[in-house]
């Protein structure tokens, strides 16, 4: 049987944690020898040699920075895999040939995200953001806090990250309310609601966790009005995409004590420039977009998921983690 | 049957979280009506009316600030309960009449301590102390981290707090090595060693959690030499008493990158004065001695434990949480 041509497009502008190096590919191939033997693999960095490879590629890992005329440049390509979960940077999908299946990296982030969420909930509960402000001000203020048990986490979005946020809340003994497009139950949430019920749910939450993809519909989903519906003792966590929350409104709420604290793993733009007013917003902890990606085995986890999908591809089954061009995620 | 006289000595210099108010006492008594009916209760604040009450008290809650000639001033007293777990502030025990049983508040701190420890481990793993320094410096630095699973927590001391530290580490998927005076097994630790093996254990730890009482033996247990035995990637957590660790040596190690980070809930003195060099030590998070005390029900938990002990007292059984004057805890 003729081998299928796989091209892996890497970018040195990404952090090395994300690089699919030859060594990491070889290690993954060794874990899936039968599947790997069906592949003829090429690799490019920053677009060098990319077009030559695309001309004969059947499948691709890594969406090229230059996506113009993709159907012409990659005439045989049937499946393209994006190496992160968020595809908002690829919007709008006018570049995507109708016959090309696009998948994302959902599934690779849950374990680490769950750990991050445990940190975020527990840190907000003890009011660590304020303690850090106090430390900078050399101010001793004994701030006591109740137990997390029995408090309520409102998790917005129940994909890979949202499920991790829900699992973490459960482990800490919290009630979990989920919100997503369809009110389909989730085993890690006590109840699941749709977005149109969000206004009624926000006042009951002790923690609001943002875990939805960024689309036209979710941009500023949490705006000034909705932030105003939250308890003044509530904490906000964003591990998804910055524009889902109106950060100007959030900063005002944190400055004025209308929220207890926030933990943000995503900001805009990234890297956050030194002049951003976010840096010294009180009651706010910023982490540098690392909540969900394991330093040791992010690529290994990702490639294992990819190989499982490749097995489906060879069998002619529907692929997991397909991006819906109409929904935008 | 004549009622037993209980005197509760409160101090307004303590945080209100710790005050045994009339309302909190009444609520606890209502949960234990039969036991409470055997008591005739008096209460004092800051020593006002204390000596008059001590003259006839059979049992006491709250160790008076003035402990001179206690056998003469409280001739009938057989049991005195200290409302915190650490009794180091009461050392040396030359004031303690030999016939008077002293108990401490161990058992009241586990649930909250476990939550704090989950925060501390997860925060150190993602290098939150350095991220906070970066935030203050308006510096974007993507710091990735591995999963906590499979890492090793070394828990020094396996009392109430140490068990909580061990349980938290287990929940996060870590290996747990315990250290205590006797190598008696602990259900939350994979192995338990004695203090004389500490030097061999320190190099294997990813996290070292300090949970021993402060005694003459544990003062500077973690000194410069032992800090030097830790991995440069390791994190230190102290929820016990500050002098168990040589903080000057710790500051040097944190400044020089010989440790990844530290989370300290205890400092010396408390309140920490503005001029302390601890405040701006890099890679360090300070919390204001609140790791183990629930703001909502610290007194309720404490009084429930006390009533359970009071039932033993009435039956003539040995009391739990007895302080060993010789061991000093």
User: Could you read off the pLDDT of B173-205 as tens digits, one per residue?
Assistant: 999 999 999 989 999 999 999 999 999 999 999
Classify residue A85 by its DSSP letter.
S
ipTM confidence score: 0.92
pLDDT for residue B1 is more than 90: no
The pLDDT of residue B45 is 97
Active site annotation includes A130: no
Pairing of strands B235-238, B191-194: unpaired
The number of distinct structural domains making up chain B is 2
Phi, psi torsion values for A91, nearest 5 degrees: -75, 150
* Marked catalytic residue, from A31, A270, A312, A320: A270
Would you call A288 and B141 a contact, using CB atoms and an 8 Å cutoff? yes
Examine the domain organization and report whether B196 and B99 are in the same domain: no
The answer to whether residue A322 is domain-embedded is no
Dist. CA A47–CA B241, nearest whole Å: 57
pTM of the predicted model, to two decimals? 0.93
Write the residue in B112, B136, B289 that is nearest to A147 by C-beta. Answer: B112
CATH number, position A147: 3.40.50.720
Dist. CA B223–CA B245, nearest whole Å: 6
Find the residue in A nearest to B172 (Cα): A115
A238-276: pLDDT as tens digits: 999 999 999 999 999 999 999 999 999 999 999 999 999
Write the residue in A143, A285, A296 that is nearest to B288 by C-beta. Answer: A143
Examine the domain organization and report whether A125 and A258 are in the same domain: yes
Give the A:B interface size as CB pairs under 8 Å.
145
Residues of B in contact with A134 (CB under 8 A): 288
| Contact (CB, 8 A) for B168 and B125 | no
Would you call A126 and B111 a contact, using CB atoms and an 8 Å cutoff? no
Dist. CA B140–CA A279, nearest whole Å: 10
Active site members of B = 241, 270, 289
Would you call B139 and A172 a contact, using CB atoms and an 8 Å cutoff? no
Examine the domain organization and report whether B265 and B162 are in the same domain: yes
3-state secondary structure of B329: coil
Examine the domain organization and report whether B190 and B237 are in the same domain: yes
Rounded (5°) CA angle B133-B259-B203 = 160
- In the structure encoding, which two tokens stand for residue B45, read together? 């604040």
* Marked catalytic residue, from A109, A118, A167, A289: A289
Write the residue in A272, A279, A295 that is nearest to B144 by C-beta. Answer: A295
- Report the candidate in B304, B266, B322 with the shortest Cα–Cα distance to residue B82: B322
Q: Is the dihedral of CA A240, A246, A249, A252 positive or negative?
A: positive
Would you call A172 and B140 a contact, using CB atoms and an 8 Å cutoff? no
Counting as low any pLDDT under 50, the low residues of chain A are: none
Examine the domain organization and report whether B71 and B151 are in the same domain: no
B262 Cα distance to chain centroid: 18
Classify residue A323 by its DSSP letter.
-
pLDDT for residue B69 is more than 90: yes
Examine the domain organization and report whether B85 and B114 are in the same domain: no
Which uninterrupted H or E stretch holds B251? helix B247-255
Find the residue in B nearest to A285 (Cα): B132
The pLDDT of residue B183 is 86
The winner for highest mean pLDDT among B105-109, B285-289, B294-298 is B285-289
The answer to whether residue B120 is domain-embedded is yes
The answer to whether residue B320 is domain-embedded is no
Q: How far is A14 from chain B (nearest CA, A)?
A: 11
| Contact (CB, 8 A) for A113 and A298 | no
- Report the candidate in B57, B8, B117 with the shortest Cα–Cα distance to residue A148: B117
Examine the domain organization and report whether B98 and B137 are in the same domain: no
Question: B86: Cβ–Cβ under 8 A, 6 or more apart, which residues?
Answer: B104, B213, B214, B240, B241, B329
3-state secondary structure of B128: helix
Examine the domain organization and report whether B94 and B182 are in the same domain: no
Write the residue in A123, A290, A296 that is nearest to B143 by C-beta. Answer: A290
Examine the domain organization and report whether A279 and A307 are in the same domain: no
| Contact (CB, 8 A) for A328 and A215 | yes
- The domain of A42 spans 4-108+295-315
Examine the domain organization and report whether B73 and B196 are in the same domain: no
- In the structure encoding, which two tokens stand for residue A224, read together? 């000034």
Active site annotation includes A127: no
The answer to whether residue A323 is domain-embedded is no
Residues of B in contact with A272 (CB under 8 A): 140
The answer to whether residue A42 is domain-embedded is yes
Would you call B279 and A138 a contact, using CB atoms and an 8 Å cutoff? yes
């Amino acid at each position: 049987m003729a081998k299928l041509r796989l091209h892996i497009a890497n970018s040195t502008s990404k952090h090395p944690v994300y690089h699919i190096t030859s060594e990491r590919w070889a290690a993954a191939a060794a874990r899936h020898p039968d599947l790997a033997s069906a592949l003829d693999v090429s690799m490019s960095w920053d677009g060098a040699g990319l077009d030559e490879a695309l001309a004969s590629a059947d499948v691709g890992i890594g969406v090229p920075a230059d996506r113009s005329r993709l159907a012409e440049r990659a005439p045989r390509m049937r499946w393209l895999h994006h190496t992160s979960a968020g595809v908002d940077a690829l919007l709008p999908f006018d570049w995507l040939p109708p016959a090309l299946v696009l998948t994302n990296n959902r599934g690779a982030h849950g374990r680490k995200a769950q750990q991050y969420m445990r940190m975020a909930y527990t840190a907000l509960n003890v009011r660590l953001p304020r303690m850090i402000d106090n430390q900078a001000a050399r101010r001793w203020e004994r701030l006591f806090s109740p137990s997390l048990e029995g408090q309520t986490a409102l998790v917005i979005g129940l994909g890979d990250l949202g499920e991790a946020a829900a699992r973490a809340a459960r482990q800490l003994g919290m009630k979990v309310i989920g919100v997503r497009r369809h009110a389909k139950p989730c085993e890690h949430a006590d109840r699941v609601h749709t977005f149109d019920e969000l206004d009624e749910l926000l006042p009951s939450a002790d923690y609001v966790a943002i875990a939805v993809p960024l689309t036209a519909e979710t941009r500023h989903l949490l705006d000034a009005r909705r932030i105003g519906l939250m308890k003044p003792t509530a904490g906000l966590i964003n591990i998804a995409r910055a524009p889902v929350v109106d950060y100007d409104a959030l900063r005002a709420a944190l400055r004025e004590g209308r929220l207890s604290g926030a933990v943000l793993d995503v900001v805009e733009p990234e890297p956050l420039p030194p002049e951003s007013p976010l840096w010294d917003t009180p009651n706010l902890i910023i982490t540098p977009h690392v909540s969900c990606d394991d330093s040791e085995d992010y690529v290994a986890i990702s490639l294992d998921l990819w190989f499982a999908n490749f097995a489906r591809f060879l069998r002619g089954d529907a692929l997991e983690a397909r991006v819906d061009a109409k929904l935008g995620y």
